[in-house]
Amino acid sequence: MPSKHGVRRSRRSSSTSSSASDRRKSKRQSAKNDSRRRRRSSSSEFSRRRPSSSGSTSSDSHHRKPKKLRPKKRSKSPVKPVKVSSTADKPAFDAKAKPADKPADANAAKAPPATAIVPNARPKAAPKAKAAGGSPPPTNGGSSPAATPAVGASASVPAGKLDFGNITELQKKLEEDRDRLQLFVIKAKQEHEEKKETKEKYEQREREYYHAELGMPCGPENRFLLEAELGKGVFSTVYRGKDMGHQGKDFAIKFIRANAMCRRATEKEVKLMRRLRNQASEADPEGARCLLGLGGMEMFEHEGHLAVVLQLMKCDLRSGLRKYGQGHGLPLPFVHTFARDIFLALRALRSIKVVHTDLKPDNLLISLDRTSVRLSDFGSAMGEDQAGQVRTDYLQPRFYRAPEVIMGQPYTTQIDMWSAGATLYELATDRALFRGETNNGMLHAMLKVCGPLSKKLATSGKFASKHFAESGDFILKDKGSSSVETLGMSTFSKPSPSVLQLLEESADAKAKMPNQTEAGNSDAKAKADAKAKASLGQLADLVAKCCILDPAERATPKQALVHAFIQKARPIAAS
């Protein structure tokens, strides 16, 4: 039995365990299926919420970001337009807009400070108000707050119109300032030349000069080495300087006095010299070569002095007369050549309508090889347009002063031709053609040499009444006394002495000098004398044509260059 029960029990337990096993398997399978479903659902949800690292991630991210920042959703909100409207009504803009609602007199009172502020980059507030409000400011000056910036802009317009309206007045002031500078230069030169400076002015001028220590460098990067002093003028001291940065080339360096007016005058002179280099060189290349030019770096600052770099020349003709003329003038071959260079320089100036006003032997520089001269010192030079504004009877050096300047008549480049004629005579004789201690004395000397003056010319001009009566008679005044003598024009009908007589007297005095006697046959000497006499006659004729009292009849540079005396000019061999 036991075995039966045992067998029976085992079968029953086996059946029971089988069904339990099936139930457990079914449960595990169901749980596994549920787990798989949960995993799939969670994986699907995870993939929707978190993009994978594949290439589609960037695309999903790209599409998702605009969804968060899209303005369309914000524009659908009914509250947003109210916010835009409130932005336009910010207190900052209201504060600027309030003055526009005030009466017109209040706006007028506050207009000047608004105009002063407008140029300081403040008007950018106007476009912002316009964009926020959505409507442009009215152009009829309404009371809209957006119109406030326009008020400031309109306030600046009348100021601009006022400036343009004052251009004529500004130009007039500039011309007056230019004329004052010109008169300062002329007056300073006259006082220096005629030694009319006061002691105080002289001492001040001496203190203002630049005093260099020779052998010391100067200029940018110590480029120039000062080697010798060449001279001293009214406004400057001149030194010879070697340009160590330009293959050791020598230049003349002019150091301007430490004076504001002298500096301004020099800057004006340099500006004119650049104009001569550009315009005169184009209009008359041959003549422009007879004008002194700037050299090297042109200008630099040194120890508070303005320095101008110029072409280096040997010396001026005044020094040349003393050195080579020995009191009797230069040899005629030199006069031929130098005269040609002078007229070439004047032709170049005339081509661009510039009046030199200071032509004399001191301002004619001899080249290093002594074969030519160049015209220098353009400090008092000016255009013919300015010549009509500057009327003074001490323009030009006294011994080279044209009669129309003394009379106060309109003048042109022809006054330089008068100075050229007087200079040529002095080069040949080492004497002044016209000498007088005053303008009245100068006119008397001119009438004696050049002949009478027509009544029309004698009675016209700003200063004519100082020297001529209404009848045209000359009023001779004795300097230092009150005595006056009236001389009719008939007194000067025959020039006495003439230019030719003066030249012959000088030539005779020169021939009597011991070192002028020539050995050799008398025929050769006679031919040389005849040739020299003919040249003197031609020189006298040229000087007389340059010194005609009427500027309209006076020779021009072109006419002088074709004169027989100039045609004899030839290059002089350097010795």
The catalytic residues are 358
Q: State the Cα–Cα distance between residues 248 and 304, nearest whole angstrom.
A: 25
Q: What are phi and psi of 309, to 5 degrees?
A: -95, 125
Q: State the Cα–Cα distance between residues 114 and 151, nearest whole angstrom.
A: 9
446 neighbors 436 (Cβ within 8 angstroms) = no
Polymer length in residues for the chain: 575
Q: What are phi and psi of 477, to 5 degrees?
A: -115, 135
Cα-based distances in Å from 293 to 42, 81, 235: 97, 76, 18
Tokens standing for 394? 């001490």
Tokens standing for 364? 């004619």
Give Cα 23 distance to the centre of its chain. Answer: 114
Residue that the structure tokens 């400036």 belong to: 163
135 neighbors 127 (Cβ within 8 angstroms) = no
Residue 63, burial from CB neighbour count under 10 angstroms (0-12, 13-18, 19+): exposed
* Helix ranges (DSSP H) in 118-224: 125-133, 148-165, 167-193, 199-208
Give me the DSSP letters along 198-248: -HHHHHHHHHHS----TT-EESGGG-EEEEEEEEE-SSEEEEEEEETTTTT
Residue 24, burial from CB neighbour count under 10 angstroms (0-12, 13-18, 19+): exposed
Number of Cβ atoms within 10 Å of the Cβ of 499: 23
